[in-house]
Amino acid sequence: MNHHAIAAIYRFEMARTFRTLVQSIVAPVISTSLYFVVFGSAIGARMTEIDGVSYGAFIVPGLVMLSILTESISNASFGIYMPKWSGTIYEVLSAPVTPLEIVLGYVGAAATKSVLIGAIILATAGFFVPLQVAHPVVMVAFLVLTSVTFSLFGFILGVWADGFEQLQIVPLLVVTPLAFLGGSFYSIHMLPEPWRTITLFNPVVYLISGFRWSFYGVSDVGVATSLLMTLGFLVACAAVVGWIFRTGYRLKA
């Protein structure tokens, strides 16, 4: 294992984050804080508790997960797309670095940024609503697994994209709507049939549900099911990344 190569890619990507601190860290935190103000304070003051949890506190896991999904995809896709766009990807591919080491560098940096943002948002949420974490180990596990999984997904998106516009298509038209419809601001048990059953086909439901269980011990689906769905998506993304390097899809063309 070439640890120097992994560290070089990782440090480069992390340095890019701190060079654009406002865009990378501050902007997502401010955006999420506005959600707390609008939904937690304004709307939450007019809503009853959900599953015994105040509405302001209930939406915290969903908002954190929404930020992690979007930031993981954005960071990882942009991180691999820029070397493709500038042509420096060929230097990386011709260096004595294995595909696994390349992925560990890029995806590791993107996941680290997402975990950092998630932690900052959780700390910020404490200023708006009372927070409790019933299962901290499970909370950290979901936080890390989701960050790594969607960073892998973002890596795939960055390889697939032919232009900057395509980098935004999937996050804006697919991931964000799925997150909003996945129980970020409500419990799916509040939906009438057949929408409740249809919602179960949304994979984001399982991520948010499992993450919320780690806070309050309540969830829309079983925590074991949520964990298995997250691991399944992780394995699927890893398999696609492996196929990309075996075939050279849009990397060596």
d(CA 3, CA 101): 8
pLDDT in tens, 69-100: 988 999 999 999 999 988 888 888 888 899 99
d(CA 46, CA 122): 23
Q: Mean pLDDT over residues 174-202, rounded?
A: 88
| Mean per-residue pLDDT of the chain | 88
How many C-beta atoms lie closer than 10 Å to residue 168's C-beta? 15
Q: Is residue 187 helix, strand or coil?
A: coil
pLDDT in tens, 209-218: 999 999 999 9
- Residues with Cβ within 8 Å of residue 237, at least 6 apart in sequence: 149, 152, 153, 156
Residue 104 has pLDDT above 90, yes or no: yes
- Position 143 confidence tier, pLDDT thresholds 50, 70, 90: very high
- Position 159 confidence tier, pLDDT thresholds 50, 70, 90: very high
User: CA distances (Å), 9 to each of 21, 89, 164, in order?
Assistant: 18, 12, 22
Q: Please report, rounded to a whole number, the percentage of residues in the chain having pLDDT higher than 90.
A: 45
What kind and span of H or E run contains 232?
helix 223-247
- Give pLDDT, residue 107: 96
Which residues share a beta bridge with 53? 50
Residue 176 has pLDDT above 80, yes or no: yes
- Give pLDDT, residue 175: 85
Of 27, 41, 36, nearest in space to 63 by CA: 36
Q: Mean pLDDT over residues 132-143, rounded?
A: 93
Residue 11 has pLDDT above 90, yes or no: yes
- Give pLDDT, residue 180: 85
**131 touches 54 (CB < 8 A):** no
- Give pLDDT, residue 40: 65
Q: Is the dihedral of CA 63, 64, 65, 66 positive or negative?
A: positive
pTM confidence score: 0.91
